[in-house]
Structure 1
């Protein structure tokens, strides 16, 4: 039985409750809370501090505050994880926001979650958690439902939510939360190949069928809804992405996802104390964005930080004894097996000369068409002994399911039901040694590297310990196939083994948490007193003075070039570890400043010599082949081809020239059955004198008022698209990893042309070459315009602000700096400074509600996090409410 105490209380300007219970004035003694109560205190920027005496009550508080701030996002996510998107949003549509599982069509997502996040999975998930974590999850569902009930009866709250009248806004149960956790744990494996898994079928298999019976109240006349997402088309739903690009991304479908993390030990601070910064580059919108919170059970738990929406434990954060952060790991969390099929049946595979049947499971999805007509679509999902069969034939025919062969994927995280138990235990860690012991014992962090520090401890910890295939390089060499050799040219780290031989299975080593996974003692870790760092490169150069070597390729590789962002991170570490920073407090102040200084390392290293080449002449000229169409018969031209024709006849126009440049690599399309396409040489001529002057004056940073950052980013994007061997005159050398590759640009005119094309690209977008960054890279929400600093990963920015579509407006589709924390300890306990660039409230970036954290980030105003009771009590925006369960 749920009940409120006291009157409703409105939201403050910085975020908080739409409706909450009794509020005590700041400064008054806080009343004790009962055994079934939850205390929620909102401080500056709407950060919730949730306090209870029991685990279920604490979970209820978490579910309640997350629903207050992100009800619509959570509700849609629970529809996704239940596999019901096709019913509510249509089978051929896609989620509006990016997520760790990409943006596949709804029907494909439904088949995946119906087929994998089923009742058997949730039952096992619950069985493998400690009772306290299960109680948290039970409570989360209850708290979410509590807020939903209040929301439905509060006209004022409903007026400000886009999902207020949605039929998919429903109560949830614990299984919804377990499905949410599962979706996160398989993000680096199965979830990367959802269309390829749910559309995999042997040649000649039935594509789609109707299931008899009713859907809801539709009666027995339910039928299949025609859909471009049905099998046969959806398998080719790969857009213009290449398989190599897909494989290069550890998580999701956006290149900007990643993180920075550095930890400085006693040799850097001059004290027996360490300092840590966590700086994930993550989603600003969607179900996987971060949510900041502080959770307390007196005497048992006191932890703060962030989690994904729908997760009731802290995933990156700190307590009064430890602090930790993560970056996406370069290790592969899955492997592929090439199946040799039985010649008599393509759903049977040969294993040491014996034929064995795949598991074939029929999955049904309810769908609703554009006019409301109901139907059921069924597919058969196939699984081998290794894992599901997937069909990569839409990317390359050789990787498809043929009469002779097929591919199966084994995800090391599919059975990793300890992933969030690991976080739950970390939340309660009492020392750095305790934290390390938990990580080594559980070996369950799903797809991230970890850094950590401890109170009164001058050591810093790095580890890439979690589920990874136990595939030594010798096994890879002995069990390779010709097809696997071709795959290795696209992705040399992912194991691609012969599935027809038992000798080629993943190894089973002593000490592993599950058969086939690497044991913790065999995985990279480093305990230092100077520093550790990771910026999404492999473990190899965690510390420039102590490379980690001798590990198998599956862990990400060694002696290979770092990203420019990675090189800058190590440069920053060296700059910060100077003699004048011999205190934790001093180093912390310098670190906070450095972390938000948007240096373009590509410009720091290469601007001068690149401009010497690009600006040797005031104009750049080259010839490009522009497609045109024969005069007769007259075709019905698309807008793209019409623009190309215009550019051929009016190349003096900047916009036409930009179009001609673009069409060089993407021939225009026409609608005609008889005309032949021709290519006409067109001379391009671009004045770059002004651009050269702008870049010479530019200081190499992307601050809000900097002029030249937009131009440099467009210039570097074009250079970065070149192969390293074509761009750099000095190649990478493993004995000089922070200095190489170097000397970009060769005497072939490509550098000058890249600058000219950058000028044209800005002109096509209506941007001047000297436009200040603030005019274009900003958050525009609720009538407010907030300039955002930083740039994309490729140009070597440590401060990342990037959109996958290349646009400059920052919003729900941005990925970049998200949650930031700088944490240390002193005699009084943990001292933390935080920022939440994307805000707490789902409406912050679109309606200006709860915009205060975004404004704080824009002005670089680190928030001293009110962790201790004395700090919470004197917070100027404190509001308190109590819920009873």
Structure 2
């Protein structure tokens, strides 16, 4: 029986605590080192979960309780039905009421209950069950001891929605994690899916239903169709990772740079932790908040990170409807399954009413009217769409993320990826102490080789598949049902690991969310199905920047000593804020500016002469004190694409508006597309309009980034280096611009848990990290703003891994008996 928690020492100062004063205990230990990182040591996995649950609740009880309200389908009950929130993980803006119905649908179907009770490997194994059971006990233990009315975080102190959690709550949260890039990215489009009767809305039904693929393809490639696609904002899931092997390492051992990008605003999702069962288990890194396992981190001899894969994690099915709720399969009508659902919704007067909505499912999955923000899908007879998410059908990733804490090298990691086959949506990039690296996109995805995707394509899929790589299958054919297609021994219709891209290298591998094709510049991966990503096509600017950083280091031309990677220069490279587009365009833009007597803008001629030397003297970085960084950003944003209402820029350029001088060439993927085509009228227009914009705001053209890009924490403005990834920044901060002030305030998304890991003779890996938004989301916590200030100053801290170092650096110790 647990007899209570014993806090033996606690201090948040910089001095280490003498470990001899702390004593020893057979209970669960939570030792906190610098910046609040908990090192949890227990005799079994239940104890690890207990310590994790207690520690994470201490630091983030309000954020966690909010997550649990979400997966219970109770946001409308406590926060109102019409408010919107950023869905954790994918940052899709979702209305509370629609999210609630989305989760209520899975509850009505009993999906999570069936999975949590399924035998492994598709269900959780014994260690996973014990770990999650311990987490529940630890969370509830902290809440019971502290009391809702005495919670340290004023955000939810005394709030009715902070409640004890149960087993089903945690498994529902885990299930949502598995669907972040799949069905959960369409939570609003599923939770709000009801048929439209009468005149259909614009969308794919903008064409006659009898249209063939060629006609639909012409429409999608027309200015109207491309505008619809160009305005699509896909889920903001991104990351960088570089693994360095013995041939590129100064020491001969492997190194890893992990740089995942997650939400800053309301959705801080990573939580740093160290987990140990003596003699059996040891891993350090970042967990997803509220799930007690490390998803990105290091063992004693292997480190790994993840980046969101470019592959689509969902498969839409186009249905031919007999009526609103009946569809044809093999020429026979098949009725949808109706799910009458209710949600409690808070009203402005404080009362709570019941809202009713009936959602429908098909053999392929739920009906959907918006897929990952893409408003081309409708439910209006005779046309409708259903969504299949193969990651909604397993809990194998729970077992994977626990077992990875025992992996010692990248060869064993590859075997784990193959055998468990549970990673839902992320590339794996890893390095080991022997100096070998691994890249793998071995994930759970529909088994759709190109021929099968084409043969089973619907009319809409025939256009969308070549354009976006999104297969839209023909729901009128039972042989196109994924459940009826070949798959793995673990799951029908899922692509086998042996057919997916991976490579071992002794120099390097990397990924920045483009496809697998150029994980190593000199060893392209080719010949894989289109659903996994594109080959021999233009890479995003961030990928090109990452590859350039690697190539410049190995050629010794990046201004740092030597021509190999080591721990320190990898940290410097991560935060150097080089601007790929700036390096490519700055000189040409400055020269063109100087050649103009004036520039013709939207408001007429503009004197741009003062902008020319600012551009010429800019150092092509997004460092805090780099005059010209903001001026160039605003100009490049005009040239890269449309600006949409939320202030972000699109991922697609409409044909004919490219400002690049040289088109893409597959034999020069780093250099092309390249150059600035100053003959394009858009260049002069952008130059003039941005100069006018600065004048209207009263902002100097050489204003440093320090003054205009920042996060607000407890009334403090903390400047942030880095910038938008689509301009070619490797170190990214994606933040909306306030048009009234011209400032970029409070990032939505960007650098979060950044780690550099190296291995030496001691057997204790060196792990340098920075959690940009802090370990705690409690504004009263000492760990709320400390690492954000460190990020401002490009500082890292080393997290102890081995027992003696942890004990020596312990700042506080809590023992749960």
TM-score, normalising length from structure 2? 0.88
Q: Which residue of 1 aligns with 2:34?
A: 44
Q: Which runs of 5+ in 2 are unaligned?
A: 118-122, 199-225, 642-652
Aligned partners of 1:718 and 1:374: how far apart in 2? Answer: 47
Residue from 750, 753, 757 that aligns with 1:823: 757
Residues 559 and 734 in structure 1, CA contact (< 8 A), matched pair in contact too? yes
Q: Which residue of 1 aligns with 2:142?
A: 147
Q: CA deviation at 1:121?
A: 2.5
Distance 1:870 1:383, change over 3 A: same
For residue 261 of structure 2, give the secondary structure of its aligned residue in structure 1: strand
Distance 1:312 1:396, change over 3 A: closer
The reply on whether 1:58 has 2:54 as its aligned counterpart is no
Q: CA deviation at 1:246?
A: 7.3
Distance 1:283 1:811, change over 3 A: farther
Q: Which residue of 2 aligns with 1:632?
A: none
Q: Which residue of 1 aligns with 2:275?
A: 295
The reply on whether 1:184 has 2:187 as its aligned counterpart is no
Q: Which residue of 1 aligns with 2:18?
A: 26
Distance 1:173 1:510, change over 3 A: closer
Residues 189 and 334 in structure 1, CA contact (< 8 A), matched pair in contact too? yes
For residue 3 of structure 1, give the secondary structure of its aligned residue in structure 2: coil
For residue 414 of structure 1, give the secondary structure of its aligned residue in structure 2: helix
Residues 89 and 177 in structure 2, CA contact (< 8 A), matched pair in contact too? no
Residues 185 and 372 in structure 2, CA contact (< 8 A), matched pair in contact too? no
CA displacement 1:407-466 (0-9 Å, x = unmatched): 1111121113112221111122233222111101122111111111223x2211000011
Aligned partners of 1:524 and 1:806: how far apart in 2? Answer: 42
Aligned partners of 2:97 and 2:487: how far apart in 1? Answer: 42
The reply on whether 1:443 has 2:421 as its aligned counterpart is yes
The reply on whether 1:713 has 2:633 as its aligned counterpart is yes
5 Å-filtered alignment, 1:117-156, equals 117=107, 120-127=110-117, 128-152=123-147, 155=150
Q: Which residue of 2 aligns with 1:853?
A: 787
For residue 566 of structure 2, give the secondary structure of its aligned residue in structure 1: helix
For residue 532 of structure 1, give the secondary structure of its aligned residue in structure 2: strand
CA displacement 1:59-112 (0-9 Å, x = unmatched): 111111111111111111111110011111111112278652622111101001
Residues 600 and 796 in structure 1, CA contact (< 8 A), matched pair in contact too? yes
Q: Which residue of 1 aligns with 2:359?
A: 381
The reply on whether 1:174 has 2:167 as its aligned counterpart is yes
Q: CA deviation at 1:586?
A: 5.7
Q: Which residue of 2 aligns with 1:653?
A: none
The reply on whether 1:874 has 2:794 as its aligned counterpart is no
Q: CA deviation at 1:14?
A: 8.5
Distance 1:458 1:4, change over 3 A: same
Q: Which residue of 1 aligns with 2:222?
A: none
Segment drifting more, 862-871 vs 753-762: 753-762
Residues 554 and 564 in structure 2, CA contact (< 8 A), matched pair in contact too? no
Aligned partners of 1:761 and 1:14: how far apart in 2? Answer: 46
Distance 1:321 1:269, change over 3 A: same
Distance 1:246 1:408, change over 3 A: farther
Aligned partners of 2:532 and 2:446: how far apart in 1? Answer: 9
Segment drifting more, 266-275 vs 458-467: 266-275
Residues 288 and 308 in structure 1, CA contact (< 8 A), matched pair in contact too? no
TM-score, normalising length from structure 1? 0.82
Distance 1:493 1:539, change over 3 A: same
The reply on whether 1:265 has 2:245 as its aligned counterpart is yes
Q: Which residue of 1 aligns with 2:213?
A: none
The reply on whether 1:774 has 2:706 as its aligned counterpart is yes
Structure of greater Rg: 1
Residues 445 and 495 in structure 2, CA contact (< 8 A), matched pair in contact too? yes
Q: Report how many aligned residue pairs link the two structures.
A: 767
Q: Which residue of 1 aligns with 2:264?
A: 284
Distance 1:708 1:468, change over 3 A: same
Q: Which residue of 2 aligns with 1:649?
A: none
Q: Which residue of 1 aligns with 2:94?
A: 104
The reply on whether 1:426 has 2:404 as its aligned counterpart is yes
Distance 1:796 1:391, change over 3 A: same
Residues 360 and 381 in structure 1, CA contact (< 8 A), matched pair in contact too? yes
The reply on whether 1:603 has 2:535 as its aligned counterpart is no
Distance 1:692 1:188, change over 3 A: same
Q: Which runs of 5+ in 1 are unaligned?
A: 16-23, 206-240, 625-682
Distance 1:809 1:827, change over 3 A: farther
Residues 2 and 146 in structure 1, CA contact (< 8 A), matched pair in contact too? no
What value does the CA root-mean-square deviation take over the aligned residues?
2.8
For residue 734 of structure 1, give the secondary structure of its aligned residue in structure 2: coil
Aligned partners of 1:482 and 1:290: how far apart in 2? Answer: 41
Residue from 749, 760, 772 that aligns with 1:837: 772
For residue 778 of structure 1, give the secondary structure of its aligned residue in structure 2: strand
Residues 97 and 813 in structure 1, CA contact (< 8 A), matched pair in contact too? no
5 Å-filtered alignment, 1:304-383, equals 304-342=284-322, 345-383=323-361
Aligned partners of 1:541 and 1:61: how far apart in 2? Answer: 41
Residues 104 and 341 in structure 2, CA contact (< 8 A), matched pair in contact too? yes
5 Å-filtered alignment, 1:313-712, equals 313-342=293-322, 345-392=323-370, 399-455=377-433, 457-488=434-465, 491-506=467-482, 508-509=485-486, 511=488, 513-578=490-555, 587-622=566-601, 624=602, 683-712=603-632
Residue from 149, 165, 172 that aligns with 2:158: 165
For residue 485 of structure 2, give the secondary structure of its aligned residue in structure 1: coil
Residues 302 and 430 in structure 2, CA contact (< 8 A), matched pair in contact too? yes
